[in-house]
């Protein structure tokens, strides 16, 4: 499903990943451990396509497609989801807007029909029950003033929906 | 003094200005015109005009509008109105009052709402005592020019203890594509003791119109009066707008001012208030957005003349393309005006490498027991926020639009009057790329909130 071959990557000209190989098959859960500065976050950011992280050589193949040249939003639509350790607060952007915009962007990419407000809401409410999330989080600004637990729940609900 | 525009004004004043005026008004006009002649149009050598060059306006031979310009298609007018069910409406076409399109609705008999020109005939004593009383035209040459040339405008007089619940909306529409017109609306708002009103001034220009609007609003609020005042400037991108709102606020009166500038080639707004007695308070909210080569300049001046007065200012700007913005927020705490509170904030978002903002907070404090704060920020869109949104599947343009909209929304969300707020959400959303998605999201969120 995800296949990383001889990945070398750098940040600000400093090489962080020095030839990483990783095979992950569908259904597997992998945990990557290592001391501070060993490149765990760099790997995650590289896979998600964050600016400022440069792939020097190697490839990241996800479901048969090479991700390395893709924009972050295309990767997201292909199915990559980066759960943030500290999700950024975005004042003024309502959580509902983001969820709906993101979902519909992804559905469009996959050739599926966009959801209307009611279908969307029904789906969101169903998933919210699963992660035991309070409904008022929906109408708050993205991650603004969320507690640690609320942050995690919000990331999980995004993952479940997207 | 030899610019084409100055010459036009000169001959217009010589031929017909003041002829049919009441003597006291003719005297105001005469002395204002002398002030204008002595000062001339400002150049960038004037401190108050350091960042704004008006020569593009003065080189254009705008001519003063007259009664023949009072024409608009009903469709054109309807398309720019706010979606407000109950409101008192005044409509001015090229500065001329249109009784046909106005609807003042039902009001208590003691309230005066209508054209200033009519009021000069019907209630001259009321105007003599209040017109041109809140204005320092020595320091505001365009205000002097307005006094010399204004033809009409809104007169709103709300006597003691009267509360007008429904908003008063005043539309100014420029429609002339043939002549390049200069329009000088003059509005006067007088609130008696404990009176309350909400007033919206909305400026528009039809497509392909090139006009120069030089508008002045004077506001006097008596003890305990409460006013919400909105100025929404959405003239087209080739038009020029210079405007001043001059206030005098008495004991415990409260004014909330929202100034929104979206259109125009060169736009300048001055808001000058005097907190003339204890307990007076002003809230100043502002939003300006520019693209292309738009230039938008906001100057505010708050005079804390007496103790225990309060001001709170929050202006935000979004500048793209080669647009230039100017913010100058001056607060003067006069001698012995102790225990005042003055807060000021100006935040700017620059969306391109060529956009420019010149922002300057100015505090002059002559009292020693005061609480004052000010801050100015200039920034770009946050890279972490952008990446977060993109990592959730939003394309770059949409992510930028959403963040920009959120930044502007900080000011828009403070607008209490829903039809103005909603129209602005749509207008501002519509100026951003990929607006459809944002609008769709707004609608979706509204539906959800409504459930």
Give the tens place of pLDDT for each residue, B358-396: 999 999 999 999 999 999 999 999 999 999 999 999 989
- Model confidence band, residue B450 (pLDDT cutoffs 50, 70, 90): low
Residue A98: CB atoms within 10 Å:
24
Take residue B366 and report the two structure tokens written for it. Answer: 């002559």
- By CA distance, what is B387's nearest residue in A? A50
The arithmetic mean of pLDDT across residues B16-42, rounded, is 88
Cα dihedral sign for A70, A76, A79, A80?
positive
- Model confidence band, residue B2 (pLDDT cutoffs 50, 70, 90): confident
Chain B positions in Cβ-Cβ contact with residue A88 (cut-off 8 Å)? 382, 384-385, 388
**Which of B391, B398, B413 lies at the smallest CB-CB distance from A101?**
B398
- By CA distance, what is A157's nearest residue in B? B392
Q: What percent of chain B has pLDDT over 90?
A: 76
Cα dihedral sign for A44, A47, A51, A53?
positive
- Residue B361, phi then psi, degrees to nearest 5: -80, 140
- Model confidence band, residue B219 (pLDDT cutoffs 50, 70, 90): very high
Question: What pLDDT score does B444 carry?
Answer: 57
Distance CA B282, CA B350 (A): 28
Nearest to B213 by CA among B236, B181, B237: B181
Distance CA B353, CA B320 (A): 8
The arithmetic mean of pLDDT across residues A93-119, rounded, is 86
Q: Is the per-residue pLDDT at B10 higher than 80?
A: yes
CB B198 within 8 A of CB B43: no
Distance CA B104, CA B90 (A): 7
CB B164 within 8 A of CB B158: yes
The pLDDT mean for chain B works out to 92
Q: What percent of chain A has pLDDT over 90?
A: 35
- Model confidence band, residue B435 (pLDDT cutoffs 50, 70, 90): low
The arithmetic mean of pLDDT across residues B218-227, rounded, is 98
Distance CA A125, CA A106 (A): 19
Chain A positions in Cβ-Cβ contact with residue B347 (cut-off 8 Å)? none
The arithmetic mean of pLDDT across residues B137-147, rounded, is 93
CB B201 within 8 A of CB B170: yes
- Model confidence band, residue A44 (pLDDT cutoffs 50, 70, 90): very high
User: Does ipTM surpass 0.85 in this model?
Assistant: yes
Question: What pLDDT score does B329 carry?
Answer: 97
Tally A–B CB contacts below 8 A.
Answer: 104
Question: What pLDDT score does B72 carry?
Answer: 87
Which residues of chain A have a Cβ shorter than 8 Å from any chain B Cβ?
Answer: 48-51, 71-73, 75-77, 81-82, 84, 87-88, 90-94, 96-98, 100-106, 109, 117-118, 120-121, 138-139, 141-142, 158, 162
Question: What pLDDT score does B19 carry?
Answer: 67
Q: Is the per-residue pLDDT at B447 higher than 60?
A: no
**Which of A94, A104, A158 lies at the smallest CB-CB distance from B445?**
A94
CB A152 within 8 A of CB A160: no
The arithmetic mean of pLDDT across residues A97-110, rounded, is 87
Question: What pLDDT score does B284 carry?
Answer: 98
Chain B positions in Cβ-Cβ contact with residue A104 (cut-off 8 Å)? 437
DSSP B15: H
- Model confidence band, residue B441 (pLDDT cutoffs 50, 70, 90): low
How near does any CA of chain B get to the CA of A48, in Å? 7
Distances (CA, A) of B87 to B104, B171, B408, B419, B426: 8, 12, 26, 11, 20
DSSP B103: B
The arithmetic mean of pLDDT across residues A74-92, rounded, is 90
Chain B positions in Cβ-Cβ contact with residue A97 (cut-off 8 Å)? 402, 438, 441-442, 444-445
pLDDT tens for B388-422 read: 999 999 989 889 888 998 899 889 989 988 888 88
CB B25 within 8 A of CB B131: yes
* Interface contact A90-B406, CB threshold 8 A: yes
């Amino acid at each position: 499903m995800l296949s990383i071959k001889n990945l070398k990557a750098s940040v600000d000209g400093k090489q962080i990943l020095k030839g990483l190989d990783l095979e992950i098959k569908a259904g597997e859960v992998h945990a990557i451990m290592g001391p501070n500065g060993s490149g765990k976050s760099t790997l995650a950011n590289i896979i998600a396509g964050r600016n400022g992280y440069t792939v020097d050589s190697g490839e990241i193949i996800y479901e048969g497609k090479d991700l390395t040249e893709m924009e972050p939003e295309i990767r997201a639509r292909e199915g990559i989801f980066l759960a943030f350790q500290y999700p950024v607060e975005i004042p003024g952007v309502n959580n509902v807007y983001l969820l709906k915009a993101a979902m519909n962007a992804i559905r469009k990419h996959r050739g599926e029909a966009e959801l209307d407000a009611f279908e969307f809401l029904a789906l969101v409410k169903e998933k919210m029950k699963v992660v035991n999330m309070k409904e008022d989080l929906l109408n708050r600004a993205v991650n603004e003033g969320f507690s640690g637990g609320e942050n995690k729940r919000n990331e999980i609900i995004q993952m479940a929906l997207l | 003094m030899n610019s084409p525009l100055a010459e036009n004004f000169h001959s217009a004043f010589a031929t017909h200005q003041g002829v049919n005026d009441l003597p006291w008004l003719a005297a105001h006009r005469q002395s204002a015109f002398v002030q204008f002649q002595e000062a001339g149009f400002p150049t960038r050598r004037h401190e108050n005009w350091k960042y704004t060059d008006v020569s593009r306006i003065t080189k254009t031979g705008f001519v003063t509008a007259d009664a023949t310009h009072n024409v608009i298609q009903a469709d054109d007018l309807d398309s720019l109105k706010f979606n407000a069910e109950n409101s008192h409406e005044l409509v001015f076409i090229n500065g001329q009052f249109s009784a046909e399109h106005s609807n003042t609705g039902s009001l208590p008999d003691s309230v005066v709402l209508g054209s200033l020109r009519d009021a000069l005939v019907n209630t001259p004593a009321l105007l003599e005592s209040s017109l041109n009383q809140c204005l320092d035209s020595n320091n505001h040459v365009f205000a002097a020019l307005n006094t010399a040339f204004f033809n009409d405008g809104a007169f709103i007089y709300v006597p003691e203890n009267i509360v007008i619940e429904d908003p008063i909306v005043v539309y100014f529409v420029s429609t002339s594509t043939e002549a390049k017109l200069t329009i000088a609306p003059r509005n006067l708002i007088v609130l008696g003791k404990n009176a309350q009103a909400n007033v919206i001034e909305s400026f528009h220009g039809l497509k392909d119109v090139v006009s120069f609007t030089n508008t002045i609003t004077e506001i006097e609020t008596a003890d305990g009066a409460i006013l919400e005042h909105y100025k929404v400037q959405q003239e087209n991108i080739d038009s020029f707008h210079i405007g001043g709102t001059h206030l005098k606020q008495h004991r415990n009166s409260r004014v909330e001012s929202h100034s929104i500038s979206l259109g125009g080639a060169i736009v300048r707004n001055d808001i000058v208030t005097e907190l003339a007695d204890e307990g007076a308070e002003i809230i100043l909210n502002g939003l300006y957005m520019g693209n292309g080569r738009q230039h938008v300049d906001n100057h505010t001046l708050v005079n804390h003349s007496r103790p225990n007065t309060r001001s709170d200012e929050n202006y935000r700007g979004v500048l793209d393309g080669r647009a230039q913005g100017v913010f100058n927020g001056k607060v003067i705490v006069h001698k012995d005006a102790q225990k005042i509170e003055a807060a000021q904030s100006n935040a700017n978002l620059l969306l391109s490498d060529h956009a420019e903002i010149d922002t300057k907070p100015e505090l002059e404090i002559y009292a020693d027991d005061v609480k004052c704060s000010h801050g100015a920020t200039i920034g770009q869109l946050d890279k972490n926020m952008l990446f977060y949104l993109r990592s959730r599947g939003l394309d770059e343009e949409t992510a930028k639009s959403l963040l920009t909209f959120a930044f502007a929304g900080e000011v828009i969300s403070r607008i209490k009057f829903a039809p103005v707020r909603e129209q602005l959400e749509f207008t501002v959303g519509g100026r951003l790329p990929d607006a459809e998605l944002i609008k769709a999201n707004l609608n979706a969120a509204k539906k959800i909130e409504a459930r």
